[in-house]
Amino acid sequence: MARTTALLSSDGTTYPDLGDRDTHNTGFDRLGQGRPLGLPGAVWITIVPAALVTVLLR
């Protein structure tokens, strides 16, 4: 349902103007590329929300 809603609201296009106006989808190419405190960014993207949810549920 979420995907259908997104496609209907955007007329089937990707999120606009994220950097390269020709492809319209280059804004997320750097997400997860860094290594803060020696861990890959993707690990932090997983750890931080999991820790927040754990705290909220307790």
What are the Cα distances from residue 36, in Å, to 4, 23, 31, 48, 52?
35, 29, 13, 13, 18
The answer to whether residues 36 and 48 touch, using CB atoms and an 8 Å cutoff, is no
Predicted TM-score (pTM) of this structure: 0.44
Residues 12-58 pLDDT 10s: 766 655 555 565 555 556 666 677 788 888 888 899 999 999 999 99
Q: What is the C-alpha separation between 30 and 1, in angstroms, rounded? A: 28
